[in-house]
Amino acid sequence: MKHVGENVVRIEAEALRVLADRIAGPMAEAFNRAVELIYRCRGRVVVTGMGKSGIIARKIAATLNSTGTPALFMHPVEAVHGDLGMVVGGDTVLALSASGETEEILRLLATLKRLQVPLIALTCDEIYSRDAGERARATPIQSSTLAGAAEVALDCSVAEEACSLGLAPTASTTCMLALGDALAMTLAEKRGFKEEDFANLHPGGKLGKRLARVESLMHTGDAVPRVSPSTTMPDVIYEMSRKKLGVTAVVEGEKLVGVISDGDLRRLLELKGKDALDLSAGECMTRNPRTIRGNEFAATALALMEEKKITSLAVVDGNGKLEGIVHLHDLWGAQMM
């Protein structure tokens, strides 16, 4: 049975290789036109498909959404019973159909033409030759009804399905999925989609935790231990114990001027004994402490803590105003470690 599994993967891998050659060669112009249509879309990309193609369509819509291109999935059957109302002027429709003759999809064409929304078709009828010797040829050799009705038709055809019966959509749906990913990633690159944009769209789950911002994890307001430079050490110790972060910020007004940590206290007591209690926070604090901005990634805070072997960072704005404190325990709670 392992040979069956190996054969399936090899057939699909070969189909993807041929698809990549097609995008680089005869389908390059059509692919670029599809990207440009979606890029200039003032509304959303409405992705539709039936059966297995519909499942792939849902995933493509999700990938577009998560990489900066607003999209939604429209079930073609529900569409002809009222859901076509979700398609409005300014949208672009991306329709998936292996044969290009799916009845439920074709029933949408008249309305889409009336709305004058651009239509991009992903079909598995052979629009461009798969013959190795004809890869440079960009002239369509045949066209399904859907492909013929579309402003841009993209070819997901395969030499064979990975199903031993040649019936179950396997290699063809893999190519559809890959082509959808190719469109989404090209659009993300064209839009200048950055890591911080990705983080804003993924606040939950493991990705969201890894890309969380310091400001979403830090302690703020009354939860932040803070004293003035003139505060006596007994009151400093009380503030640190009460807020339970193992550190306190030393501020003049709202500006951070130093910090005192549990480690600073231990070293001070070892050096001066009970005389340390007669000192002020300004005399004991660490000046120019390590700080971080609230809009930095939590992963950056973690890396800084590990590098400097500290457990807390003061969070400040561009003027040095104290905004909060982020603790190592906060990063543990976010399962970043």
Contacts 24+ apart (CB under 8 A), 259-264: 259/285, 259/286, 259/289, 259/312, 259/314, 260/227, 260/236, 260/284, 260/285, 260/286, 261/286, 261/310, 261/311, 261/312
- Report pLDDT for 133: 44
pLDDT digits (tens, 9 = 90+) for 309-324: 888 999 999 999 999 9
What beta strand segments (E) does the chain contain? 45-49, 71-74, 92-97, 119-123, 152-155, 226-227, 247-252, 255-261, 286-287, 291-292, 312-316, 322-327
Q: For residues 324 and 218, what is the distance between their CA atoms, to the nearest angstrom? A: 6
Do residues 193 and 68 touch, judged by C-beta distance below 8 A? Answer: yes
pLDDT digits (tens, 9 = 90+) for 174-223: 999 999 999 999 999 999 987 767 766 766 666 666 677 888 889 999 99
- Whole-structure pTM over 0.75, yes or no? no
| From 127-141, 147-161, 229-243, the region with the lowest mean pLDDT | 127-141
The strand pair at 255-261 and 247-252 is best described as antiparallel
- Report pLDDT for 128: 72
- Report pLDDT for 334: 58
- Report pLDDT for 210: 65
- Report pLDDT for 298: 83
Q: For residues 11 and 232, what is the distance between their CA atoms, to the nearest angstrom? A: 75
Contacts 24+ apart (CB under 8 A), 11-18: 11/160, 11/161, 11/162, 11/170, 11/171, 12/162, 12/170, 12/171, 12/174, 14/159, 15/158, 15/159, 15/171, 15/172, 15/174, 15/175, 16/174, 16/175, 16/178, 18/130, 18/158, 18/159
Tokens at 300, concatenated: 């950056």
Which residues face 96 on adjacent strands? 49, 122
Average pLDDT, the chain: 89
pLDDT digits (tens, 9 = 90+) for 57-68: 999 999 999 999
pLDDT digits (tens, 9 = 90+) for 75-102: 999 998 989 899 999 999 999 999 999 9
